[in-house]
Chains A and B, each alone.
Chain A
Amino acid sequence: MTPPLGKDLLALEPLTPEQIRLILDTAEPFKEISERAIKKVPTLRGSTIVNLFFEASTRTRVSFEFAEKRLSADTVNVAASGSSVSKGETLVDTARNLEAMRIDMVVIRHSASGAAQFLAERIESNVINAGDGTHEHPTQGLLDLLTLRDHFGSLEGRRVCICGDVLHSRVARSNIWGLKKLGAEVGVCGPRSLLPSAVSELGVHVFDRIEAAIEWAEALNILRLQLERMQGGYIPSLREYNRVFGVTRERLERAPRDVLILHPGPMNRGVEIDSDVADGPHSVILEQVTNGVAVRMAVLYLLAGGSPALAEAAKGASDR
């Protein structure tokens, strides 16, 4: 039997290293299911899951939906536009109405930091955070950890640098927490205007030059530069950003070792990452996408059902 994960998955910050390892270890056997001819197991048969996406998302929503369907759950997608949300209904009212239809789990993406926790405290269903504002995106952090672990074996002492808009990035935050909990050394690299002001308090190495980050790191997790940052005055221009912080083949060729390349997507080719790096031999960007389904299956499996009272009743029951 596994140690419990709790009712919800809201962030990596409150998890123990053991809980994170449990999720990653559980994800391993789930990879195989997606390789089968019939990509489906009956585990969550009868469970109803609502994917509540208040922000646009393709990759994450599709990944969750595949994970849910491959576990045989029934799924409903609710997008903010075209729903009662656009008529001014509050988050809690939306969720309570869904809950009144007897759902079991909610996967939520929202532009407000803390939205997932707010919801989790007010409804009975399990809540999974699929990204809340600039707070966290725990399943993205987990799939990055799984991909790194696939290549490094253990993350203990490994040097991983997160490059780009760390200030606004929930992916960066989940990565920093997860990597540190598993014993990796974490660096961040980007323009000072896009790093949090108290960045050194996070216990990470700070690199002002991408060349220095590449020389230090064994893996780079290159964040998407959100194009609206330019309008916000954080960077002078995209071309300027690419010239100073872009990860290019020339820069990687000067590295003292092979550097693993991760990107959470969607990519701006020619801005934060060049095409020959994204498609290069050390890119694991598509492995990240494959691992995303397995990690989300693991999280759904670990959170679904199984109340403590039932566990007590089942104790000692034969499993043969």
Chain B
Amino acid sequence: MPDKHTTVLDARAVARTLRRMADEIVELFDGTDNLILVGIQRRGVQLSDRIADILDEREGVKIPRGSLDITLYRDDLQTVGPRPVVGPTKLPWDLNGKRVVIVDDVLHTGRTVRAALDELADFGRPARIALAVLVDRGGRELPIHADIVGKRMDVIDTDRVDVMVSELDGSDGVVLARREDAA
């Protein structure tokens, strides 16, 4: 059965949302001192780079960037079947005492963020870790919340929220895919 697709954010809305998220990061940390942006593979990395670009331009700084692949820290590896592809982790910074913002595309169950927190701890002890997501779709299975949210969505379990970034998907956008037989 075909899914029904609804555009939630178009490319311009994504750009606007990322600018606001960048502003909120500066506000939250009262500046950009000791700040590091870390995107979660895959689409969190591109979003993290966009936000870092905005910060670099607006604040006249060069924000250190990293990327995190959480596959090896997943809590379902024993049950997930054929092995998920492992992407690169690049975090060539000393995280001790730093202020880290984890950036991801969609916050859902919270399990990815749990894995990311565990992985970050293996790189050092940041003074603070914050979470910024483009979309919060609810449905948490762990006590995890985002500090900065681009768009809050109220969706049902069977819905899929797809974030697209031009580097990987040709264009930016957020699409809600709902099954035809869903309520």
Contact = CB atoms under 8 A, between A and B. Distances in A.
Contacts of A2: 82-85
Interface size band for A: 35 or more
Q: What are the 7 tightest A-B residue pairs by CB atom distance, in nearest-first order?
A: A311-B81, A320-B108, A41-B72, A43-B72, A38-B122, A29-B86, A1-B82
B90 interface: yes
Contacts of A4: 82
Interface in B106-155: 106-109, 111-112, 118-119, 122-124
7 contacts: A2-B83, A3-B82, A42-B73, A43-B73, A306-B78, A311-B81, A319-B112
A305 B82 CA distance: 9
B82 to A, nearest CB: 5
A301 B83 contact: yes
Given A310-B80, A314-B81, A318-B109, 7 more contacts: A29-B69, A38-B122, A40-B122, A301-B86, A306-B81, A319-B74, A320-B108
Contacts of A30: 86
Interface string B46-71: 00000000000000000000000100
B123 A302 contact: no
A308 B81 CA distance: 6
B81 A307 contact: yes
Given A38-B122, A320-B109, A310 B81 contact: yes
Contacts of A301: 72, 83, 86
Contacts of A43: 72-73, 77
Interface in A291-320: 301-302, 305-308, 310-315, 317-320
B97 interface: no
Nearest to B113: A320
B82 A29 contact: no
Interface residues of B, number: 30
A212 B119 CA distance: 51
Nearest to B40: A320
Contact of A311 (B69, B82, B86): B82
A37 interface: yes
A47 to B, nearest CB: 9
A32 interface: yes
A215 to B, nearest CB: 38
Most buried by A among B76, B83, B88, B112: B83
Interface string A1-33: 111100000000000000000000110111011
Contacts of A312: 81
A190 B73 CA distance: 47
B160 to A, nearest CB: 9
B76 A26 contact: no
Contact of A318 (B79, B84, B108): B108
B7 interface: no
Given A38-B122, A320-B108, A320-B111, A314 B89 contact: no
Contact of B87 (A1, A29, A37, A38): A29
